[in-house]
Amino acid sequence: MFGYVRPWRDELKVCQDRDYQALYCGLCRTLGRRHGLVARMFLNYDFTFLAMLLDGGRPETTRERCPAWLWCRKKTCAATAGLDGAADAATILSYWKLRDTVADSSFWRGLPARFLSRLLRRGYRKAAAARPVFDGTVRDCLEELTALEKDNCPSMDRTADTFARLLAAAAPPTGEAARDRATEQLLYHLGRWIYLVDAWDDLEADQKTGAYNPILARFPAGADRDYLRTTLRHSLNLARSAMALLELGHWEATVENILYLGLPAVEELVFTGRWKAVNHRDRRQDP
């Protein structure tokens, strides 16, 4: 997806950082086991966060060979019950994002996405069979989003809402009404935050190409930076107040770190135009 949802690692304890890395590797391994090698290529931080929300249990770790190091190196992989759900959601979303790109681009420009989505299709089918409701929601929400983009929708809430609802559906219902409501609100506002931060990140590029950008559509005369940051902070506050109602067990401190430090740091980087450089650097290091 976007990879915005990550902890501020300077402030994690060593054991928390170790477990987070192991969970990231565990998600990669689960993607491989459930949906094949191609699905592993779409690994990102955002769904590690989802895995933490889905299961608070202490992870069991194993040492596994890592394909990113051409199977020469072993990494510690965590296994928790939340990983299966997170992996399914990740593959479904990756697949539909690719299909969306194919639909939005001309034949030649859409060719790489077409090729990748073809490779991912087997994995996607398995994931969709496991999470049919989420699959339907993703399809509907992305369709809605495309329609709003075509209409150049001036309401940034309305377009952000489609992505936020999509993410809110990523956690499978547990049957506990209170927990489900809190998880849904957390993910809704996380989705809203991701969508708007991404819109700001693309602002200059969209201005040049004339592509739809919800912030440009909402503020045709020029975006009000402070106003936007207030509404983003508000979404984060609503996500945090939802988190306070959840029992996150083993991952509580890491989720707290992400919501209170990681996301504000990413927002700051995006709004000061340094995000792409930092992200590129991080990608060359391993988590």
- Please give the residue ranges that form the binding site for other proteins (CB under 8 A): 8, 10, 155-158, 161, 164, 178, 181-182, 185, 188-189, 192, 218, 230-238, 240-242, 244-245, 256-257, 260-261, 264-265, 268-269, 272, 274, 277-278, 281
Torsion of CA 191, 192, 198, 200, to 10 degrees: -170
In whole angstroms, the minimum distance from the beta carbon of 269 to other proteins comes to 6
Task: Give backbone dihedrals phi and psi of 158, rounded to 5 degrees, phi first.
Answer: -65, -45
Strand partners, 63: 76
How large is the greatest C-alpha to C-alpha distance in the chain, in angstroms?
A: 55
Sign of CA dihedral 191, 140, 213, 160: negative
Task: Give backbone dihedrals phi and psi of 133, rounded to 5 degrees, phi first.
Answer: -65, -45
| Cβ count near 39 (within 10 Å) | 27
In whole angstroms, the minimum distance from the beta carbon of 277 to other proteins comes to 7
Element (H, E) at 197: helix 177-201
In whole angstroms, the minimum distance from the beta carbon of 54 to other proteins comes to 19
Nearer to other proteins, 120 or 145 (CB): 145
What span, in angstroms and rounded, lies between the C-alpha atoms of 129 and 122?
A: 11
In whole angstroms, the minimum distance from the beta carbon of 48 to other proteins comes to 20
Nearer to other proteins, 209 or 241 (CB): 241
Nearer to other proteins, 156 or 194 (CB): 156
Nearer to other proteins, 135 or 161 (CB): 161
What span, in angstroms and rounded, lies between the C-alpha atoms of 155 and 103?
A: 23
In whole angstroms, the minimum distance from the beta carbon of 261 to other proteins comes to 7
Nearer to other proteins, 83 or 182 (CB): 182
Nearer to other proteins, 240 or 250 (CB): 240
In whole angstroms, the minimum distance from the beta carbon of 158 to other proteins comes to 8
